[in-house]
């Protein structure tokens, strides 16, 4: 990473500014996905705390249902954060979103359980998750636009790859902490108070991230637009009126990321433990291996997209998922732990081809005046409909079909739709950013 994200060149920024830009973009997504990791990896424990009267599978469905419902507010958040980011500035939107998100994550640790306040407990959990969903709607899109607009023209892919790297790093820390808690605490301690500990970390991390972001100038592209007074009064309305074709392509292109990310990196520990019968420690280890693979390859993918083009890398990712996902899930069902580790490495590597390229692809698809809105609306629409619901749909498909391969077929279908969308898009990696 250090060899490619070196200061100097590009927009003429000094080393300190570039480091702050990268750190500011990294930390917000890190906090967001740390929370999602902990929630996903401790889903069974959280189900016991908030839905203790339900049977095991129903409790998981209710817990993942709350997870999914929080995503339904994300399109609304995308509209609002896009409006703020394109009119008031990327920096202001990102500084506010991280404050709301980290505060809501911290609040989860303070919610009393079902045994204390009854139905009020899951209701409070849902409210907090909705606030999180709203604030997170502007984070991934804003950080990606921020990095792409600061990056040298021939390095936009690798700069934007910082964003998915930060999501995987957040998931990795969440996985490690969940595994550590599972190993060191008894089941009773985990159910009583242990699951709350990771959520408490969000407050200090969020405050650090906000401080770094407030010390930065807005991006050169946004400042140039503001100086020329070219900002549109209603970016979201302009997006739907003048850029609806790009919006449709973006929603379709995001689909593989939406389903794949949550199935492979968030839902998988639950799948391995609840559906295949592995222990919690083994399930966390397998997912940790996938995350390390993901982080290790994500910057190489960014480099590849800069050299070979966004379309070529995204098409490769979709084709690999179409061909290999169902066979990979068949291998998982062998219940051989070494095979499962290899499958996780394969799936994690395949996912990087999509996720490492998507941020620069989406940011380049829209002009500066609606870039934040276009990215936020498309990314959050696809994630709301298919990403946040992926753990719920995967659990439901297994329950209704009786087949443990159902998540693999679902992921393959998402890859097919993304392939069609990317094939219809134009190559943007060598073009200057649209003003």
pLDDT tens digits, one per residue of 330-381 = 998 887 888 888 888 898 889 999 999 999 999 999 999 899 999 999 999 9
Cα separations in angstroms, 424 against 249, 285, 421 = 7, 39, 5
Confidence of residue 12 (pLDDT cuts 50, 70, 90): low
Confidence of residue 430 (pLDDT cuts 50, 70, 90): confident
Give me the domains of the chain, ranges plus CATH numbers. 15-424 (1.20.1250.20)
Lowest mean pLDDT, pick from 51-65, 172-186, 302-316, 361-375:
51-65
Instruction: Return the residue matching tokens 């507010």.
Output: 73
Of 395, 358, 376, nearest in space to 82 by CA: 376
Is the alpha carbon torsion for 248, 253, 256, 261 positive or negative?
Answer: negative
Residue 411 has pLDDT above 90, yes or no: yes
Report the share of the chain in percent with pLDDT over 70.
Answer: 94
Residue 129 has pLDDT above 70, yes or no: yes
Lowest mean pLDDT, pick from 273-282, 304-313, 419-428:
273-282
Segment of 56-70, 111-125, 258-272 carrying the highest mean pLDDT: 111-125
Contact 354, 257 (CB under 8 A): yes
pLDDT tens digits, one per residue of 229-266 = 766 778 888 899 899 899 999 999 999 999 998 888 77
pLDDT at residue 254 in the model = 94
Helix ranges (H only) for 185-336 are 187-192, 197-200, 202-214, 220-227, 235-242, 244-262, 268-270, 280-308, 310-332
Residue 133 has pLDDT above 90, yes or no: no
Residue 435 half-sphere exposure, CB side, CA atoms within 13 Å? 9
Report the share of the chain in percent with pLDDT over 90.
Answer: 26
Buried b (16+ CB within 10 A) or exposed e, 203-215: bebbeebbebbee
Nearest-angstrom CA–CA distance, 204 and 190:
23
Instruction: Return the residue matching tokens 């690798």.
Output: 158
pTM above 0.85, yes or no: no
pLDDT at residue 398 in the model = 87
Give the Cβ contact number of residue 3 at 10 Å: 6
Residue 26 has pLDDT above 60, yes or no: yes
**CA 200 to chain CA mean position, Å:** 20
Confidence of residue 9 (pLDDT cuts 50, 70, 90): very low
Give 416's contacts (C-beta < 8 A, 6+ positions apart).
Answer: 318, 322
Helix ranges (H only) for 112-160 are 114-117, 120-136, 139-150, 156-160
Contact 322, 412 (CB under 8 A): yes
Looking at the chain, how many residues does it have? 435
Give 382's contacts (C-beta < 8 A, 6+ positions apart).
Answer: 251, 252, 254, 255, 257, 258
Residue 58 has pLDDT above 80, yes or no: no
3-state helix, strand, coil in the chain (%, to 5): 80, 0, 20
Lowest mean pLDDT, pick from 93-97, 138-142, 277-281, 405-409:
277-281
């Amino acid at each position: 990473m250090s060899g490619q994200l070196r200061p100097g060149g590009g927009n003429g920024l000094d080393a300190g500014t570039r480091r702050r830009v990268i750190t500011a973009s990294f930390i917000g997504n890190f906090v967001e996905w740390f929370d999602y990791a902990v929630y996903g990896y401790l889903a069974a424990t959280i189900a016991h705390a908030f839905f203790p009267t339900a049977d095991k599978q129903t409790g998981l469905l209710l817990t993942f249902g709350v997870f999914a419902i929080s995503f339904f507010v994300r399109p609304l958040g995308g509209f609002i954060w896009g409006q703020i980011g394109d009119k008031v500035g990327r920096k202001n939107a990102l500084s506010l979103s991280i404050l709301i998100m980290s505060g809501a994550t911290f609040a989860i640790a303070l919610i009393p359980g079902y045994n204390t306040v009854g139905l009020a407990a899951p209701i409070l959990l849902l409210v907090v998750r909705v606030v999180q969903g709203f604030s997170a709607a502007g984070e991934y899109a804003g950080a990606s636009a921020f990095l792409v607009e600061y990056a040298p023209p021939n390095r936009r892919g690798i700069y934007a790859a910082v964003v998915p790297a930060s999501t995987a790093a957040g998931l990795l820390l969440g996985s490690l902490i969940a595994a550590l808690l599972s190993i060191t605490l008894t089941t009773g301690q985990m159910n009583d108070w242990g699951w709350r500990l990771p959520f408490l970390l969000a407050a200090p991390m969020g405050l650090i991230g906000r401080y770094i972001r407030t010390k930065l100038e807005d991006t050169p592209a946004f400042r140039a637009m503001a100086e020329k007074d070219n900002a549109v009064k209603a970016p979201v309305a302009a997006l739907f009126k003048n850029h609806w074709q790009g919006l449709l392509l973006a929603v379709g292109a995001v689909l593989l990321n939406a389903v794949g990310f949550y199935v492979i990196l968030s839902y998988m520990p639950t799948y391995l433990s609840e559906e295949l019968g592995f222990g919690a420690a083994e399930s966390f280890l397998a997912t940790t291996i996938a995350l390390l693979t993901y982080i290790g390859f994500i910057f190489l993918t960014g480099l590849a997209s800069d050299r070979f083009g966004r379309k070529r890398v995204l098409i490769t990712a979709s084709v690999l998922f179409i061909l290999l996902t169902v066979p990979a899930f068949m291998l998982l069902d062998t219940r051989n732990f070494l095979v499962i580790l290899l499958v996780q490495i394969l799936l994690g590597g395949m996912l990087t081809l999509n996720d490492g390229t998507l941020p620069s692809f989406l940011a380049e698809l829209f002009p500066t005046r609606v870039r934040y809105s276009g990215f936020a609306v498309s990314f959050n629409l696809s994630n709301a409909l298919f990403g946040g619901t992926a753990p719920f749909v995967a659990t439901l498909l297994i329950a209704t079909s009786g087949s443990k391969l159902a998540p693999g077929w679902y992921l393959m279908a998402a890859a097919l739709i993304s392939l069609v969308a990317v094939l219809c898009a134009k190559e943007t990696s060598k073009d200057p950013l649209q003003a």
